[in-house]
Amino acid sequence: MSGSLRRKAAIVGIGATEFSANSGRSERRLAVEAVLAALDDAGLRADDVNGIVNSDYDDTNQLDVINALGLRNIRAYATIPHGGGSPCGTVAQAAMMVASGVCSCVVAYRSLNERSGHRYGSSDAVPTFPWVYGLHAPYGLIVPGEWTAVHARRRMIEFGETREQWAAVPVTFRAHANRNPQAMQYRKPLTREEYLNAPMLAEPLCRYDYCLETDGAVAYVVTSAERARALKSVPAYIHAAVQGTAFPVWYQTNWYRENFTTGTEVVATAGHLWKESGLTPRDIDVAQIYDHFAPLVLTSLEDFGFCAKGEAGAFIGDGRIGLGGELPLNTAGGLLSEGYIHGWNLILEGVRQIRGTSTAQVEDVEFSLVTSCWGAPTSAVIFSR
Amino acid sequence: MTQPMPQFPRPLPQIDRDHAEWWAGLRRQELLVQECLRCRKQLFPPEPLCPHCHSPEMGWRRSSGIGKVYSWVIVRRPSHPWFADKVPYAVVVVEMQEGFRVVGSIDCPIEKLRDGLPVEAGFEDVDERVTLLRFRVAV
Ligand SMILES: [Zn+2]
């Protein structure tokens, strides 16, 4: 484990605003509310913070957070690129900032009014598209749901997969959300029949295959393993946190590479993850798999090595991914049913599973996996208790 | 021309220096694929140099225009206003005989789309600058 980050740092605080369709306040305000909640959860103060990390898609500048909270001791800051690929990469960054000794307390945040403000599924005002997007946008292949439908159709062609098989993902995640009062879909059950009878949006995808659109913010606090033991919260040790990518890679629009149904960047990330952690997929007790679209959960499971390519349709059946199953997934409801904080809320649930405080708590969790977006330069983290 | 101008124009590509020749090919009704003049590897989308051998000497090969449907989407709820009166519409990914893939529209009833459907490239001029791919079912 030379050069490894293994268990050198821990997440000691998590915070979130409510997840809603209309927050009624600015993204800046949401960001600082989440940061303060995370610090409070850790028993730390704003003056303790000396590192700050966010995602390139965040419209809340780090200066906004520094100014709103009156932070005076910042000595390292980083912004991690590639949108939904970035969340677990921010954990890797924060762990490196702490393990290097440069920082003793790093906060990371993600804030967005994605429902009441700029909606990622809308393209109304865009007149021209740069290079690779220009190759498909003029034909009406413009937003992520339309791109993903092409991928999902190819899964059907290559693997004989069906919507009956995909149904396990949205229906199971919804059942988990129905236990989580924080989830946007807390009081809205979803049956398999509702899923199968839903009208197509970008065929073969229906609305239940799409993640939610959410206003809200989340934040977390990282400190060193030594300091973590002195704090009031149960530390979620960062056992491994990695980023990875590989040629050829674009954002979910990679119709051109040799293998359509494998994410070279995800396979690369998984390789780093298992090597750095010294673990295998069998060691994972619970996982939060980035679920921007239901069929991509299947592709992610394959690319992370939980089953062979083409076998995820069968793998997710028989209750395996539900509470009480062999590999419970997205136990707070995921991006499909808890809320879409661009993958960052999955990190918080990964931590809660280590703490034993999830509303869909898995028994005796030793290793909790979180992954970021399939189809972009991506990242993953394993927390250990 | 009695049609009113649509409120939102069709989304169009930005044509930059590294890819101008590919778009110029479409205007001449030629579907091009980039080829490395050193290692002869085929490349699509084009890159400023060869990612396999790093040669800057890149050329273009003209595709037969013959291919097969590899995947597709049928958009039933439009995401962009220009497409609002065009739903449902299909967009196809076609694997060309030469082995590379491209995205295009297709003249084919959506219920007839299937994996491996033989198609040939057609070309549709959309303005004075841009020509797009519009596939036909091969007979
Ligand atoms: Zn070459």
Residue B37 per-residue DSSP state? T
- The CATH code of the domain that includes A375 is 3.40.47.10
Domain count for chain A: 1
| Region B108-117 average pLDDT | 97
- Alpha-carbon distance A187 to A181, whole Å? 8
Judge whether residue A2 has pLDDT over 70: no
pLDDT of residue B7 exceeding 80, the answer is no
Angle at B59 between CA B53 and CA B65, to 5 degrees: 115
pLDDT tens-place string over residues A171-211: 999 999 999 999 999 999 999 999 999 999 999 999 999 99
Domain annotation covers residue B2:
no
**Segments forming the whole domain that contains residue B25:** 20-137
Note whether residue B10 is domain-resident.
no
Query: Residues of A numbered 222-281 whose beta carbons fall under 8 angstroms of chain B's beta carbons: which are they?
Result: 247-248, 255-256, 260
Query: Cα separations (Å) of B30 from A76, A383, B25, B41, B64?
Result: 52, 53, 5, 20, 9
In the DSSP assignment, the letter for residue A118 is -
Distance CA A69, CA A64 (A): 8
> How high is the mean pLDDT of chain A?
96
What is the predicted ipTM?
A: 0.94
Contact A19, A334 (CB under 8 A): no
Residue B1 confidence class, pLDDT cut points 50, 70, 90 = very low
Q: Which of A142, A290, A178 minimizes the C-alpha distance to B11?
A: A142
Domain that holds residue A306: 9-117+212-384
Whether A251 is catalytic: no
Question: With contacts defined as CB-CB under 8 Å, which chain A residues touch B13?
Answer: 128-131, 133-135, 137-138
- A332 lies in a domain? yes
Please give the pLDDT value at position A1: 43
Q: Does A290 participate in catalysis according to the annotation?
A: yes
What CA–CA distance (Å, rounded) separates B32 from B64? 9
For A77-113, what is each residue's pLDDT tens digit? 999 999 999 999 999 999 999 999 999 999 999 999 9
Contact B67, B133 (CB under 8 A): no
Inside any domain, residue A367: yes
Residue A314 has pLDDT above 70, yes or no: yes
Is B67 an 8 Å CB contact of chain A?
A: no
CB contact residues (below 8 A), chain B span 97-136, against chain A: 100-105, 115, 126, 130, 132-133
Burial of residue B54 (number of CB atoms within 10 Å: 0-12, 13-18, 19+) = exposed
Q: What is the arithmetic mean of pLDDT over B95-123?
A: 98
Answer yes or no: is B105 within a domain: yes
CA–CA separation, A76 and A368 (whole Å)? 28
Residue B113 lies in a domain: yes
Total count of domains within chain B: 1
Rounded-to-integer distance, Cα A23 and Cα A16, Å:
13
Instruction: Write out the residues surrounding ion ligand 1, Cβ under 5 A.
Output: B 36, 38-39, 50, 52-53, 55
Strands (E), A149-234: 200-203, 205-206, 215-224
Is A57 contained in some domain? yes
Q: State the maximum Cα–Cα separation within chain B, in Å, rounded to a whole number.
A: 54
Whole-number percent of chain A with pLDDT over 90: 92
